[in-house]
Amino acid sequence: DAKTTQPPSMDCAEGRAANLPCNHSTISGNEYVYWYRQIHSQGPQYIIHGLKNNETNEMASLIITEDRKSSTLILPHATLRDTAVYYCIVRVGTNAGKSTFGDGTTLTVKP
Amino acid sequence: GAVVSQHPSWVICKSGTSVKIECRSLDFQATTMFWYRQFPKQSLMLMATSNEGSKATYEQGVEKDKFLINHASLTLSTLTVTSAHPEDSSFYICSVPARSSYEQYFGPGTRLTVT
């Protein structure tokens, strides 16, 4: 699985958009980009995934660059409950579950 | 509602004893489940892949005789930490891949403290 690089921490004001970047310059053509988050002392929660097109769901939007070497997770209106560690993972879509977690980004949403 | 459950949610045991952690898939059958370990302020590390009806596959550096995995049914996998030591104290999390193979559902985790 390709390695990812994320900033260790970010702050965001409540109600504003949170933009979390992820670099995955060695991503292969058949690898998807997945985002999970982990609230303190809980199991990770799936957020969104994509291959090469931008994706949006009820939780977030995922923007993947044309060369697929980086992506950005966007939480459009961050709330205090969005404070968590966010993990960007790249893996083959059929290799479900066997994910390699990096250090992630600790997002702190402030009032 | 929860898709994956773990039991217990936390456990304290004495050094040298064994502890069993259960992971249940509540909504669908799972031929594969995964076990992760997370030390404080660190990321998740995959320990092993639990396979229904066959032996588990362990990641490099994980002692298979110490961390016994049994995938007895399509909805239950168990992780037994044998002869636990304080350095085994950690947050143990299981995950179940979704039918679509794109998502995976994580359990709430089990916090093990070995005294």
- Distance (Å) from the alpha carbon of A90 to chain B's nearest alpha carbon: 12
List the structure tokens of B9: 């949610």
Averaged pLDDT for residues A38-67: 94
The span from the CA of B112 to the CA of B88, in Å, is 8
pLDDT in tens, chain B (115 residues): 568 999 999 999 999 999 999 999 998 888 899 999 999 989 999 999 999 888 999 999 999 999 999 998 999 999 999 999 999 999 999 999 877 657 788 999 999 999 9
Judged by a CB distance cut-off of 8 A, whether residue A32 touches chain B is yes
Find residues 29-68 of chain B whose CB sits inside 8 Å of chain A. Answer: 32-34, 36, 43-46, 49
Q: With 80 as the cut, is the pLDDT of residue A96 above it?
A: no
Q: With 60 as the cut, is the pLDDT of residue A95 above it?
A: no
3 state SS of B5: strand
Answer for the pair B84, B113: CB distance below 8 angstroms, yes or no: no
Residue A93 banded pLDDT, cuts 50, 70, 90: confident
- Distance (Å) from the alpha carbon of B101 to chain A's nearest alpha carbon: 5
**Beta pairing partners, A72:** A21, A63
CA distances, B74 to each of B31, B98, B105 (Å)? 6, 13, 15
The span from the CA of A18 to the CA of A10, in Å, is 9
**pLDDT recorded at residue B69:** 96
